[in-house]
Copies of this chain bind each other. A is one copy, B any other.
Amino acid sequence: MPKLYGIGVGPGDPELMTLKALKILERVEILFVPKSGAGVCIALDIVKKAINKDFRIVKLYFPMTKDKRKLEEHWDIASKAVEEALKDSSEGAFITLGDPLFYSTFSYLMPRILDLGIDIEVIPGVTSISSCSASRRITLVAGDEKLAVIPAAYGLENLEHIAEEFDTVVLMKVSRNYNKIVDKIKELGLEDRALFMSRCGGEGFRAKRLEEIGEGNVDYLSMIIIR
């Protein structure tokens, strides 16, 4: 049975890859690389920095859209491309930034690949959340504390009571509606508890209080930790 590894390559620093990820990547020949829009693939950059090797690279295109039908169409095309590529080889690896089951396209591809009779092994990775908290020595949770993780691009209606109930709230995907999100945080008086962070553990790392950022464009790989 052909096998696909879903490999989390960590948050950005090649040294934050796991020994297991490195070992598998040193062995496999085919690399499946997610590609969306004009974006470069950061996961591939990480692997290239860690391993000097000529992979056969199969790019899988995932458009940046909320159109469910269009997305499903592309996931189907991608899973067929994986099936086709694994015909010649017994194994390959899909690489993803952070962890494959934590806000990764891999989650959508996974059931389709399994349906095609291809085995899957998931190699967990260090998430951007752990990397961001480490870079500024902010405890995520300790003892009896609760953690909430929310993709902020999709609305923050319940942020007020979530921030009351949870000791730490991590807002992911804050770049799209950044100014609106900051307005909401200010409106709820949560500004002093909030820290903006982007590209933790990688090049271009930034960690700032919201008032230091001002309005404007923020990096796609950004989050806000409210604690």
Map CB proximity to B onto A85-118 as digits: 1 under 8 Å, 0 otherwise.
0000000000000011111100110100010000
**Residues from chain B with Cβ under 8 Å of A15 in the complex:** 18-20, 23
**Residues from chain B with Cβ under 8 Å of A149 in the complex:** 141, 146-149
Residue contact B148 to A154, C-beta cutoff 8 Å: no
Q: How far is the CA of A217 from the CA of B110 in the complex (A)?
A: 34
Contact of A16 among B18, B114, B120 (CB under 8 A): B18
Which segment of A125-133, A181-189, A190-198 sits at the interface? A125-133
**In the complex, A143 has a CB within 8 A of chain B:** yes
Residue contact A103 to B142, C-beta cutoff 8 Å: yes
Q: How far is the CA of A16 from the CA of B19 in the complex (A)?
A: 6
Which segment of A6-14, A30-38, A52-60 sits at the interface? A6-14
Chain B residue at smallest Cβ distance from A104 = B142
Residue contact B18 to A10, C-beta cutoff 8 Å: yes
Residue contact B120 to A124, C-beta cutoff 8 Å: no
Residue contact A13 to B20, C-beta cutoff 8 Å: yes
Map CB proximity to B onto A144-174 as digits: 1 under 8 Å, 0 otherwise.
1111111101100010001001100000000
Given contacts A101-B134, A124-B131, whether A147 and B146 have CB atoms under 8 Å apart is: no
Can you list 10 contacts pairing A with B, beta carbon distance less than 8 Å? A16-B20, A18-B19, A107-B139, A110-B139, A126-B126, A127-B127, A146-B150, A146-B151, A149-B149, A158-B165
